[in-house]
C-alpha cells in the first residue's frame, strides 16, 4: 500500500470518532426533551445548558476532523 492511499484510509478511520459524537448528541437532546416534558417551566434554563453541552460535544467531532485534515494535508 502506498502512502497516499494509506493517508486516505487513515482519514476515513479517524472519522469513526463521529459515532461517539452521535451518541453524545442524541443523549444531550434526548435528555433535553425528557426534562422539558417533565418540567416545561425549566425550559429556558435547561436549553442554555443543552446548547453548552452541544458545543462541547461538537468540539470532539471537530478534533477528529482536524486529525483527518492533518493526515490528509500536512
Partner 1 sequence: MAAEGSNSIDALGQFQLHPALGAIGRSVNFTQSNLMMVVAGLAVLAFLYLGMKPRAMVPGRLQAAAEMGYETIMGMCTETIGGHEGRKFFPFVFTLFFFILFGNLLGVFPLFFTFTSHIMVTLALSLTVFILVTVVGLKEHGLHWFSYFVPPGVPVALAPLMVLIEVISYLSRIISLSVRLFANMMAGHVMLEVFGSFIVMLGGIGLLGYFPAALSLGVNTLLIGFELLVATLQAYVFAILTCIYLHDAVHLH
Asked if 52 touches partner 1 (CB under 8 A), the answer is: yes
Asked if 65 touches partner 1 (CB under 8 A), the answer is: yes
Asked if 4 touches partner 1 (CB under 8 A), the answer is: no
Q: Which of 9, 15, 59, 71 binds partner 1 (CB under 8 A)?
A: 59
Alpha carbons 55 and 37: distance in angstroms, whole number: 23
Contact 23, 60 (CB under 8 A): no
Contact 25, 51 (CB under 8 A): no
* The three cell numbers locating residue 27: 443523549
Which residues bind to partner 1, rule: CB under 8 A? 51-52, 55-56, 58-59, 62-63, 65-66, 69, 73
Amino acid at each position: 500500500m502506498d502512502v497516499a492511499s494509506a493517508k486516505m484510509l487513515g482519514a476515513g478511520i479517524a472519522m469513526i470518532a463521529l459515532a461517539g459524537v452521535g451518541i453524545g448528541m442524541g443523549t444531550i437532546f434526548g435528555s433535553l426533551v425528557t426534562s422539558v416534558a417533565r418540567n416545561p417551566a425549566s425550559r429556558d434554563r435547561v436549553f442554555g445548558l443543552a446548547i453548552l453541552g452541544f458545543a462541547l460535544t461538537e468540539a470532539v467531532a471537530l478534533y477528529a476532523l482536524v486529525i483527518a485534515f492533518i493526515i490528509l494535508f500536512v
